Structure 1
Amino acid sequence: MDSANYVARLNEYAQKERLLLKYEEVGSVGPDHIKTFSLKAVVNGKAYPEGVGKNKKEAKQNAAKNALQCLLEEPSRGSIEEAPPAHMQLKTNYMCWLNEYGQTNRVVIRAVESITPGQNTLTQGCRFVVGDKEYPVAYGRTKKDAREEAARLVHHEIMGGETLDSGKNAGNSCISWGFVLYNRFTADYDSIERLDKGSFGRVFKAKHKLEDKYYAVKIVHYREKTLQEVKVLSDLNHCNIVRYHSCWLEDGTYQWDTSTGSSSASQSSTDQPSKFLYIQMELCEIKTLRVWIDEKNIQNHKKSLRDFKRREESLNFALQMISGVEHIHSRKLIHRDLKPANIMFSRNGTVKIGDFGLVTSEIEDDAENQKERRGYKGTPSYMAPEQRNRKLYDRKVDIFALGLIFFELLWNIPTLNDKNEVRFFFFSFLYQMINSMLCSNPEERPEASKIKINLEEHIHSLAELKTKQRDSKTI
């Protein structure tokens, strides 16, 4: 079986895209000693091809792999994307060349598009106006093809017979990402790699040329509400929150490429000039808390119940998370989308809370804000009851989500019977604390500051106990 953890990757994808994921057992065949099992992944009610294995775990991995491949429309070898054919690289280079030409020579580049009816189809046309000069029109089956050919015609007129090296800039700004990048991003950054994609936009790893330092750059469609994330991040300065550095707006043409993994068909038609918001942030590791939990859960779950090393690490993560949330709440803000997929790690292993796309303020006596705080926003599996029921909610929805995350962190609980075993082993401070965080009545949930103090005291007590046990063994 493939060594990749497709269950973890599908879980993370589903959380990022806010999809409802579940697995269903299809059945088993064969005698007991050579029995094979079948499971299928169901995403937002849609069943994907079954996975078959010698045991349920293997069948689940294969089911997750099949679903992920369908969702991402990727080849069967997983997340490694095939390099585009040479002629596609050449087209992308001409478009990139034109962008860089306009930037270098400080001239405005404008695309003029047209549609010509054919015998059975519509042919897309495009010509570029560079500064005050118009260039010949080019045609193609799609807008993208027409643009690329039009850019080639511009290059031919300006540069004469000189050809463009298709390998030039291959490691820079001319990678086939599914959209055309303009101006500051490609001018100030190189070594650009895509890290993530979704309905929100794209996130790239990029090295700032002058600073010689890597950052994460998030690119989203500009709307008034998208500035909310920037305003919030700029005001939050905490070691357990992804650090914001800068942002800027640019005009551009975004070609939302469904072949690179988007599951929304509507995005493929977003091909008109518009504004995009670029957010420069601290670069975190690709591995999220969701992946960390799923990797731990691959272990035998009986062993996991007694895994004290896991509990020690988890308590450290939990303390860092609650510290970040305490800071968020101190600014009268509600994150609203806390989940393992939005908890990241810095290069040195520090926990970082990210994705503030759904953040909102908590303002009393404000009708507009109260309306916002009744919205069904977040990830359903981590929503508090009042959030799901669209009742007026406050910062305590974050406490409920954290309670669920803490439970996942500390224990691998696949069945109800195992929850009773947790009660037996850990019916103590931790279980009581998480229980209080998951109260259906938000007023009974503790504040982040209280949880932080209790966790610090508990970790200190455990450290003292560990020291006494070690000392007793040396006597």
Structure 2
Amino acid sequence: MESAVYKLNEYATKTSFLIKYEDRGSVGPDHDKTFTQRVVLNGKVYPEGEGKTKKKANQDAAKKALRDLHQEGAHQTAVENYNPPSAKPKKEPNQNDSDICNKTSSLSVNSQDISSEHDFIGLVNHYCQKKNRCHTFIEDRRWGPAHEPQFSYRLIIEHKEYPVAEGRTAKEAKQKAAKLAWDALQEQSDWDSKVSVRSTVSEGGATPVLSTPSTPL
């Protein structure tokens, strides 16, 4: 597997960005030092990385820079094969993570997508299919103890980032992020009032769970 340093250098080469690894010193006794390095890419400083050797510290710094770049959506082609551990969401059964671009307009949102648990994710999926737009959920961070972790996610539609939302599970955080994006979409001047919850399919022909009024142009 290609190292983080290699992937970051490859990205810098493809984008003609100037990359530097800055030595931030070391701490600890001579026999057990911890080194600190950081990446400066095209003038932008990224989080510091640590390691027992400068090489490992460089790797850690490169991983953090790639993680930040991945979240910014600035280099999808260059690092599409690199998935830093901190940015890789935990898979949950029977969940559509919507982590890939879906431009197949013939697909429709089924009743499960707009149930009380999945309504906003389903609405965003439906909207992007109708408008032929690419969308993806990006894990912003996760924290807390292993038995009670917290997650934060943001939704990106056509390279536009929407606010970060937090939840006790990845699913809950994505649901909240989808709601924030949905609210923001309705405020845009190009909002299509025809793309609404009423155009999705409800379970058993019942009234849709969510009824959101459209904003006039």
Give TM-score, length-normalised by structure 1.
Answer: 0.22
Relative to its length, the structure with more helix (as a share) is 1
**Greater Rg by CA:** 1
